[in-house]
Amino acid sequence: MADPVVATLANALVQALRQLGAAGRPEIANRIAAKAWSGVRRSDQRTADRLNGVMHQLARLEEIAAAERSNDMAQEPVLDVRSEPPVRRHTLIFETFDALAPGAAFELHNDHDPKPLYYQFAAEQPGTFTWEYLEQGPEVWRVRIGRMRAA
């Protein structure tokens, strides 16, 4: 017989995971679900099976989100700073970021790893930006920089 407290907590967790996935964070929801599944799989097979089902639903949401990101990326502006004087580059990049709407992004093209720029973003814009390397040299570095949606 299933423990009623575990069943109640599992119901709440499943509901929260589905809401997190529907809110555009299916990967995070799936990681949480996997931790919970790992914790109960040997002691409560019914709850483990339920979490496994939720993980499969979330995986489909991840696929949909990835397809949407791919479509969005095809329409994102490109900021190629390779021909700009080095002293002007970071100013242009921050101006481009400041003009982004929440959820929007641009693709930065640079002639070196812009890692110092990442640290500047982290210092000035903590928790408000995304940073994804698309290509890492040796000739061109491409980074997708985005403005996060409000929580």
pLDDT, tens digit, for every residue of 25-46?
Answer: 888 898 999 999 999 999 999 9
Split at pLDDT 50, 70, 90, the class of 150 is confident
More confident of the two residues 128 and 68:
128
Residue 111 · residue 145 · CB < 8 Å: no
Residue 82 · residue 41 · CB < 8 Å: no
pLDDT digits (tens, 9 = 90+) for 77-101: 999 999 999 999 999 999 999 999 9
More confident of the two residues 70 and 67:
67
Res 86: pLDDT:
92
* Whole-prediction pTM: 0.54
